[in-house]
């Protein structure tokens, strides 16, 4: 069966999106080779006096596998088998295969967007802040015979010769890469990367398996007519809470992200604030990547947004139809009519829209 391909203009638009994501990752990778700012430190600061652990429990290579490659494989398998649901009658349906192709692209692009944003922001902040890691002194191997030559602040010599702030010039290590890494504590890259990929996977799985938080638009029942109340009752009957075992499946990637974060604390590579801040960044980029291509899980909208229409594939649109295709315009018009009816009835303007 021959499948009608999407318009060339639309294909090129999404190819450009992929190219831009790859460029963001490439720029972030380049930034990681730039010498970071070396923040002055104290030789008697116990917070940076932890031992240097040679081998990380979760290496950078393994981090990429767990937070990017593994989610991409899971998305591919679930999409191939379940999205849209398989049936013999669908095998000759072009719309079925087009939908599946779009689900592949949307799932991967959301993941790529989340990971690229987290990687870019993380590497940039690391170099700008230059915060010492908990194991900096072990990396530095400071010259204790001539501390005064490297003093840049603190001026506590009256108490102790070491009660000062010194620059990294006091370090005797010949391993420049190891020393530079010692000034990349804030924020944790393992934390931001793991949450950006694994939380995105959790949100995506929740969307595809309808693990949604039941939602019903807020209104004023006393002001609704009988038909509106019947619609709300029908919506309540459709919005039962999902099974717990499904929630467990969805939370597995989140548990893995927590574990990865914990290893950075155990290996003395980051302080708690570094891990927390990196996690927040990863959570934010995961949410952005997911919502860029998918509806809200908390408002009963598990669908994937439709592709941009071919006439709006590249241009920034200021028209009333935005980026939507004809089918998307129809859905939005239905939602708008629902909102108007809801507002007239005294509601919040957030109706349940039947597919």
pLDDT, tens digit (0-9, with 9 covering 90-100), for 279-326: 999 999 999 999 998 888 877 677 788 887 777 777 665 554 555 555
Q: Does 88 or 139 have the greater pLDDT score?
A: 139
Q: Does 42 or 93 have the greater pLDDT score?
A: 42
Question: 85 Cβ partners below 8 Å, 6+ apart?
Answer: none
What pLDDT is attached to residue 82?
Answer: 84
A 10 A CB-CB count for 325 gives 17
Global pTM reads 0.82
A 10 A CB-CB count for 239 gives 15
Q: CB–CB of 206/250 below 8 Å?
A: yes
Instruction: Report the chain's mean pLDDT, rounded to a whole number.
Output: 82
Q: Where are the beta strands (DSSP E) in the chain?
A: 41-42, 151-153, 165-166
Distances (CA, A) of 281 to 47, 125, 192, 229, 278: 24, 11, 6, 42, 5
Question: 25 Cβ partners below 8 Å, 6+ apart?
Answer: 115, 116, 119, 120
Q: Please, is 67 exposed, middle or buried when counting C-beta atoms within 10 Å of its C-beta (0-12, 13-18, 19+)?
A: buried
* Average pLDDT rounded to a whole number, residues 67-77: 95
Q: How far apart are CA 68 and CA 113, in angstroms?
A: 11
Residue pointed to by tokens 């793991």 = 194
For the chain, the structural domain boundaries read 8-211+243-320
Q: Does 225 or 101 have the greater pLDDT score?
A: 101
Q: CB–CB of 97/3 below 8 Å?
A: yes
Q: How far apart are CA 128 and CA 184, in angstroms?
A: 9
User: Which tokens hold the place of 14?
Assistant: 């999404």
Q: How far apart are CA 11 and CA 6, in angstroms?
A: 7
Among 67, 65, 113, 77, CA closest to 256: 67
* Average pLDDT rounded to a whole number, residues 164-186: 93
Q: CB–CB of 29/113 below 8 Å?
A: no
pLDDT digits (tens, 9 = 90+) for 22-37: 999 999 999 999 999 9
What pLDDT is attached to residue 309?
Answer: 73
Q: How far apart are CA 91 and CA 297, in angstroms?
A: 29
pLDDT digits (tens, 9 = 90+) for 335-347: 445 444 444 444 4
Q: Does 12 or 120 have the greater pLDDT score?
A: 120
């Amino acid at each position: 069966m021959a499948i009608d391909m999407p318009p060339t203009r639309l294909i090129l638009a999404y190819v450009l999106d992929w190219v831009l994501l790859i460029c963001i990752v490439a720029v972030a990778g380049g930034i990681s080779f730039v010498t970071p700012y070396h923040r002055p430190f104290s030789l008697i600061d116990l917070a940076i006096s932890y031992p240097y652990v040679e081998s990380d429990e979760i290496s950078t290579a393994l981090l990429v596998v767990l937070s990017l490659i593994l989610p991409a494989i899971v998305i591919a398998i679930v999409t191939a088998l379940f999205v849209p649901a398989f049936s013999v009658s669908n095998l000759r349906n072009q719309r079925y295969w087009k939908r599946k192709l779009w689900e592949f692209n949307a799932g991967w692009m959301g993941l790529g967007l989340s990971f690229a944003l987290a990687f870019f922001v993380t590497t940039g902040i690391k170099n700008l802040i230059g915060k010492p890691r908990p194991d900096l002194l072990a990396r530095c191997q400071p010259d204790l015979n001539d501390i005064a030559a490297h003093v840049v602040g603190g001026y506590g010599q009256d108490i102790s010769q070491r009660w000062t702030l010194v620059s990294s010039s006091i370090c005797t290590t010949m391993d420049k890469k190891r020393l530079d890494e010692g000034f990349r504590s804030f924020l944790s890259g393992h934390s931001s990367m793991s949450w950006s990929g694994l939380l995105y996977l959790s949100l995506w799985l929740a969307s595809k398996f309808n693990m949604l938080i039941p939602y019903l638009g807020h209104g004023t029942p006393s002001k609704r007519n009988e038909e509106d109340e019947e619609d709300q009752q029908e919506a309540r009957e459709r919005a039962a809470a999902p099974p717990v075992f499904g929630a467990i499946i969805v939370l597995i990637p989140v548990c893995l992200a927590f574990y990865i974060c914990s290893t950075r604390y155990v290996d003395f590579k980051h302080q708690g604030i570094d891990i927390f801040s990196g996690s927040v960044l990863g959570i934010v980029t995961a949410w952005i990547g997911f919502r860029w291509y998918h509806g809200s899980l908390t408002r009963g909208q598990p669908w994937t947004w439709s592709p941009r229409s071919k006439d709006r594939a590249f241009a920034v649109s200021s028209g009333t139809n935005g980026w939507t295709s004809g089918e998307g315009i129809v859905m939005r018009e239905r939602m708008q009519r629902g909102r108007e009816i809801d507002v007239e009835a005294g509601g919040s303007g957030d109706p349940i829209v039947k597919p």
